[in-house]
Each structure stands twice: as C-alpha cells, then as structure tokens.
Structure 1
Amino acid sequence: MSNQETKRSFSQKHPVLAVVIIEVLLLLSVTAAGAYATIKQLSYTSPVLLSFIPIAAVLILYFSLKKKWGYYGFRSLASIPKERLIDYAPLLAVLVIVALKGFRPIGVSELLFYFFFTLLVGFVEESIYRGMILNILLPKGVKTAVITSSLLFSVTHVLNALSGQNAVQTALQIVYALLIGGALALLMVRNRNILPLILFHFLHNFIQFVGNDNSDAYLGYDITILALIALYCVWLGLSLKKTVSTHPAEHSFN
C-alpha cells in the first residue's frame, strides 16, 4: 500500500459512510434536543440552539485544528472572479421577494436574538451540507454530490416542516429546501466559496423570522421564489457544465 493511500482520511476512503454518519449524528442531535425541549416546555427555537451551538463549536475546532477552513470554502470573497459575481444576483432577488412580505413590530432584544440564531443556523448548515458533505461526495461526481447534499438538506428540513403545518405549506417547504440546497451546492462547486452562501442563508432566515407570518396569504410569493430558484438551478447547471468542459480542474476543491 502506497504512502498516499495510507494518508487518505476516513471520509476519502469511505465517502458514503462518512456522509451517512454526519447526517445521522445531526438528525439524532436535533431530535434529542427537540425531545428535551418538549419535556421542559422550552421555546420552539430551543432544539436548534441546544443542538447547533455545540455542533458549531465542534466545527470551528475541527476546521482550526485540521487547518481545513480554506478546504471547505472559507476563502476571501476576492477569490471569486469578478465576472462571476452575477452568479449571486438571483439570491438577492429571492431576498427582495421574501422582504416584500413585510415586517412585524419587534423589540431590540428579540431582533438581536434572531440575528444570533439565524447566523448560527447559516454557519452550521452551510458548513455541513455545502462544506463537508458536498466536498466528501465530489469524487463521486459533481451531479451525485449536488443532488445528494441537496436531498439530505431537504430531509433535515422535513422535521421542521411537519410541526403542525398544512399539507400545502409542508410540501412547499420541502421543495423549497431542495431547490435552495441545489442552487447553493452548484454555486459552491462553481466558485468554491462558502461565505456568500452563509450570508444568504443567514439573511434569508433572518428576514423570515422578523417578517410577517408565512401564511396562505403569501403563497404567491413562495411560488414565485420556487419558479425563480428552479430556473436558477438550470442556469447554474448549464454554466457549470460549460466551465467544467473548458476548465476541468476548476470544480475540484484544493
């Protein structure tokens, strides 16, 4: 066995098993936190806080000790070619549409809480799905990595979607998570920078938390966003296919 083979990490030797372990540990953590919060009658944000704060600490420790920040996409925004900044324009459009629903009256303390809460969620979920899982699966092919990471991202959000919502809202939220996951994964492969994805994820969730309640009155907004993201995924997929065919080394994470 060669030195190079010996030095390969567990995730490189067993990518599928590594992804399964990561997803199962995340789901178990959130489920256990949810059970505890239910028993103690804590707020609806408690399960995420109880599970994501230690997960964030582990991620920061792991990225730092292993010097993996750059490897998982934490790079200067200047590393994104200027001509590709247009790639992120549809994300801005999504944020504008979400903001058009309006905002509810909210106090400073609640505003600060949601700021921290949504930043935490954005960091943890992007680090896991568009950082670790996507990167682990890339040797299996870009299509496999993008689709699998997006499906797992959607599966994780099923737990949130099943909390008393009607069937239409539940279906919309699952499809929404799947399409958003696909778009962000394609962006990650194309530009190899996770910071804009964390920023979008954070702002998107923050606007939703401080905005008006997402009821049936805003169904038209949701359908518009779904159509926009679906077209966005097609555009990104075609752009990535063209990039890979002309510059095959660009989609690798070095």
Structure 2
Amino acid sequence: MTPLRRALALWAAVVALIAAGGLVTLVLLPDVGGTIRALLVTLVLFAAVLVARARWWSWKQVGVTRPDLRSHLPVLAVLSAVALSPLVGGVRMPADGLVVLVTGYALTGFTEELLWRGMAQRVLAPLGPVRGVVVTAALFGASHLANVLFRESVALVVAQAWGAFCFGIAYGAVRNRLGSIVPLMVLHAVTDLAAAVGALPKIPVLVAEDVILLALGIVLLARDRRVAVEGVRRREPAVG
C-alpha cells in the first residue's frame, strides 16, 4: 500500500469513528450538549489511537521524544503567542465548565498531535517534507467536517476545518524541525483552551490565528523545499 493510501485509510477510520460516536451519542444522549458528547467521542478516539500506536509504531517513531527547544525558540515563541492571544482581553468562564474544557482540550491536544503530526505525517514522510505536511494538514482539516454532528452551524464547522488546515500547515512544518510532537501537544491544548475562554471576540481572533499560522507554515515549508532542492543539486554528478 502506498503512503497516500495508508494515510487515506487512517483518515477514513478516524472519520468513521467520529461519525459513529457522534450518531450514537446523539441517539443515546439527546439532551446532552455537543461539547460533552464530543468529549466522550474524544475519549474513544484517544483509546483507539493508543492501541494503533502500540500496534504499529514506537513512541520514538511518532515523535514522543525529548525535543531540542533551544534551537527552535523563535518559532515556538510565535506559536506560543498565537496560542495565548485570545487571553489578551481577559477570561470568561465557559458555560460547560472549566474542568470539562481543560480535560477535553488536553485529550484533544494529545490525541490529535499523536494521530496527525505523529502517525499520519510519518506515514506520508516518503512524499517529502513539504508534500507530506500539506497532505497531512488537508486530511487533518477534512477530518473536522465530522464535527457537524456536534455543532449546530455547518458554516462554523467548515470554518473550523479550514482553520485546522492552517493549523496543520504550521504545526507540521514545526514538527519537521523539532523531531518531536511533545511541545505541539501542549501548544495545541493551550490554543484550543485559550480560544474557548478568551474574552476577545472569537471569530476575528480565530481568523487572525489562521492567517498567522498559515503564513508561518508557508515560510517554513518554502525553506524546507529550498533546502531539499539544494541537497539534490549537490548530489548530482558534475557534467564534463
């Protein structure tokens, strides 16, 4: 099976699990809000991802390693600033409860980074550092369309999927540099939590985050492509 087909199979399995979980919780728990139902499905996905990791990859292979943070402080500083930006205007207590959100976003940060930047991006590594990241980000974004089962607004879900793609471009490029997904797990959880509890208007903040992350990812991937091209040229035999 080609890397792309393996990644598509992984994506299909994830979407099927989320969709099935969404439908089951909707039928069995009709009076429970979407946030709680999504948390329950995230718990199932978390368990499934751990089983898949144990079956096919070591922790080191999926990037759960000690990162070299000092060599990448500028990029991590940008991601940290983006993550914390919604808190500039203060904090507002969520209706679903802070404990629920902290638990949910911690699980989401761990699970999604292990799944997408850890497993999927490793599977797609043969495509190269640029195409591998772009395809992984596209699959990551498309997987969020299944959230229509937990949200009332289709437009909001589509916007979330686009935001996840932008997020994936930046985080995928940074994952290539770090060789570790551990800082990304933390930053992912903080980004989601800050967006949920930040007092600033949510839509403008999220749009600004998407623009910054997409721009950062494009810059980093452009550098990766240039390095790859230069490496090929150095390996080419001299003519004459």
* TM-score bucket (shorter structure): 0.7 to 0.9
Task: Sort the Cα spacing of 1:199 and 1:247 in 2 relative to 1 into closer, same or farther, 3 A.
Answer: farther
Structure 1, unpaired ranges of 5+: 1-12, 249-254
What does residue 38 of structure 1 align with? 26
- Which contiguous aligned blocks of 4+ residues in structure 1 show a shift greater than 6 angstroms? none
Q: Could you tell me whether the CA contact under 8 Å between 1:34 and 1:46 is conserved in 2? A: no
Q: 1:99 aligns with which of 87, 96, 104?
A: 87
Task: Sort the Cα spacing of 1:218 and 1:16 in 2 relative to 1 into closer, same or farther, 3 A.
Answer: closer
Answering whether residue 10 of structure 2 is matched by residue 22 of structure 1, we say yes
Answering whether residue 179 of structure 2 is matched by residue 192 of structure 1, we say yes
Structure 1 residues 114-153: Cα deviation after superposition (integer angstroms, max 9, x where no partner): 2211111111111111111110011122222111110111
How far apart in 2 are the matches of 1:219 and 1:66? 39
SS of the residue aligned with 2:97? Answer: helix
SS of the residue aligned with 2:61? Answer: coil
Q: Could you tell me whether the CA contact under 8 Å between 2:94 and 2:196 is conserved in 1? A: no
Which aligned pairs between 1:101-250 and structure 2 lie closer than 5 A? 101-105=89-93, 110-160=97-147, 163-165=151-153, 167=155, 169-170=156-157, 172-212=159-199, 217-244=201-228
SS of the residue aligned with 1:208? Answer: helix
Letter in 2 for 1:237: L
Task: Sort the Cα spacing of 1:82 and 1:123 in 2 relative to 1 into closer, same or farther, 3 A.
Answer: same
Structure 1 residues 77-117: Cα deviation after superposition (integer angstroms, max 9, x where no partner): 3xx2623222212111212322235322359x932222211
Letter in 2 for 1:126: E
How far apart in 1 are the matches of 2:214 and 2:4? 27
Structure 1 residues 35-73: Cα deviation after superposition (integer angstroms, max 9, x where no partner): 112112133134433333233224334444666101100
How much does 1:187 deviate? 0.9
Count of residues paired in the alignment: 229
Aligned-pair RMSD on alpha carbons?
Answer: 2.8
Which deviates more, 149-158 or 232-241?
232-241
Structure 2, unpaired ranges of 5+: 233-240
Task: Sort the Cα spacing of 1:87 and 1:239 in 2 relative to 1 into closer, same or farther, 3 A.
Answer: farther
How far apart in 2 are the matches of 1:185 and 1:103? 29
Q: Could you tell me whether the CA contact under 8 Å between 1:37 and 1:46 is conserved in 2? A: no
Task: Sort the Cα spacing of 1:16 and 1:171 in 2 relative to 1 into closer, same or farther, 3 A.
Answer: closer
Q: TM-score, normalised by structure 1?
A: 0.78
- With CA pairs under 8 Å and 6+ residues apart, which has the higher RCO, 1 or 2? 2
How far apart in 2 are the matches of 1:32 and 1:202? 24
Q: TM-score, normalised by structure 2?
A: 0.82
How far apart in 1 are the matches of 2:206 and 2:40? 29
What does residue 49 of structure 2 align with? 59
Task: Sort the Cα spacing of 1:65 and 1:160 in 2 relative to 1 into closer, same or farther, 3 A.
Answer: closer
Q: Could you tell me whether the CA contact under 8 Å between 2:130 and 2:221 is conserved in 1? A: no
